[in-house]
Each structure stands twice: as structure tokens, then as C-alpha cells.
Amino acid sequence: MKKFITENVKTLFYALLIAIFIRSILVQPFYIPSSSMESNLLVGDRLFVTKFSYGFSNHSFPFSPSLFKGRIFYKSPKRGDVVVFKTPADNRTDYIKRLIGLPGDIIQFIDGDLYLNGNQILKTIKSTSELLYCGKSQIKVSSFLEKLPGGKSYLASYRSDYSFENSDKYIVPNDHFFFLGDNRDCSKDSRFLTEVGYVHKNNLVGKAQILFFSSDPNIGSIFKFWKWNEIMRFKRFFNKIK
């Protein structure tokens, strides 16, 4: 009996080590809890995030232990990447946003248009009457295909009734990045300097790569298998994140 217990404890211990290794070094699943990235990412989406994409910092590991200083094997993220990071406000909460500004960039909103280093980001209208969630409510938005320098394109949405019109210039410091949510008027992001602001490279957790599972929590729990035809968003399974 003692040998049986010992062997099972060893098995559980090794399994835990392997799980921590995979989660810390390779891939970690994340759940989307808010509507700040609609319509590209929906509440109820589950993603695989690669931890090795930008190298490793203490935030790569569970509970962010102080194992070393800075970031090792660092690879700079690319403009337009969808990134998971720890918010600078508490260095604990995970946020997911799109990378817009690199170190040294100047970002500004003028008359509702996004400018990067003095140049307006090209956007093409896709819809003028789409409904997106903002918390528990729905808002009417206009959706655009925005194209960043370098060629990265994605959908960004702005409220139809009122929107974030004008801002001061945001100048991204060295070793920091500027992030925006794709649901522009329902996102707490780098525009809010006291709550998120510029994100240091050490706060990067990983790059969102694959949407592997999705269910609609507004309809019901996934445990209600008799309603899976309504709850499950099967068309979103195993889609690459753009």
C-alpha cells in the first residue's frame, strides 16, 4: 500500500512539473472575459498563447516569481500582434490587446482617426450598423478594416453615436509599448495612463495565436449540452488569430 501511494505521488508530482513547464515555456490557454477586442475576439473565446514568442520574464511563470531580472531570449513583438500582458497598475492582471505603438512612436487620435507618427492609419469602412457588446449592453458601431505600416490588417470598431474623438500625443518610451482594444470605445487600454498606460517589455506574457474553443456565456453554460447548438460557436474553433 505504501509503495502504491508513493508511486502515485511521484506520478502526480512529475505531471505537475510537466504542466508547469508547458504552461511557462511553451503554450498557455487564456479565456476572454470582456468585450474589448470584439468583433475579433468574443467573450467566451479560449485562446492558445505562445509564451516563447517574445522571450521570458518573471511574468512568464505562474505567480510571477522573482527568478531573474529583465527578459531573457528577448524578441521584439511586431506592430499589430495581439498580445497578453500584465497591467502595469498591479503587475498581476492579464490583459489582451493589439500592439499599435513601438518604442519612440507617437500616437494620437484626431477627429476620431488614429494617427501614427503623424500619418493617418488607413481604414476602409466595412459596416455602419453592427452591434457589439460593451459589458452586458450592446452598442451600435461602425467597423473598419485598419491597415498598419508593415501591412497588418484587422477589424476595428467605433461607436456610431459618439466615439473617442481627440487626444493628446502619446509618446511611447524606450522599452515600452502602446496597446489598443479593437472595440475602441469599450476598451481600457494604453490611452488610460493611470490604469494601463505604456507597457514595459518585461510585462509581456505572450502572443495570442490560436482560438481553439468558443462558447456564448450570454446563452448558457457549456454544461447544458442539450443547448450546444446555440451555445457553441463551432465556426470559431481552431481559427488563427489575426
Write out pLDDT tens, residues 94-147.
Answer: 999 999 999 999 999 999 899 999 999 999 999 988 899 998 889 999 999 999
* Number of domains within the chain: 1
Query: Is the model's pLDDT at 8 over the cut of 70?
Result: no
Termini Cα distance of the chain: 53
Cell numbers found for residue 151: 501591412
Q: What's the CATH code of the domain at 208?
A: 2.10.109.10
DSSP 41-94: S-TTEEEEEETTBTBB-GGGSTT----SSS-BS--PPPTT-EEEEE-TTTS--E
Cβ-based neighbours of 174, under 8 Å, separated by 6 or more: 103, 104
**Residue 86 and residue 59 in contact, taking contact as beta carbons nearer than 8 Å:** yes
* CA–CA distance, 45 with 12 (Å, rounded to integer): 29
Q: What's the average model confidence in pLDDT over 156-182?
A: 92
pLDDT at 216: 93
Domain around 13 = 2-240
**Residue 241 and residue 152 in contact, taking contact as beta carbons nearer than 8 Å:** no
- Mean pLDDT, the chain, whole residue set: 89
**Catalytic residue status for 36:** yes
**Catalytic residue status for 66:** no
Buried/exposed code over 150-182 (b: 16+ C-beta within 10 A; e: otherwise): eeeebbbbbbeeeeeeeeeebebeeebbbbbbb
pLDDT at 19: 55
Q: What's the average model confidence in pLDDT over 217-235?
A: 88
Marked catalytic residue, from 34, 36, 60, 143: 36
Marked catalytic residue, from 34, 39, 57, 97: 97
pLDDT at 70: 87
Cβ-based neighbours of 32, under 8 Å, separated by 6 or more: 41, 42, 43, 44, 45, 46, 47, 96
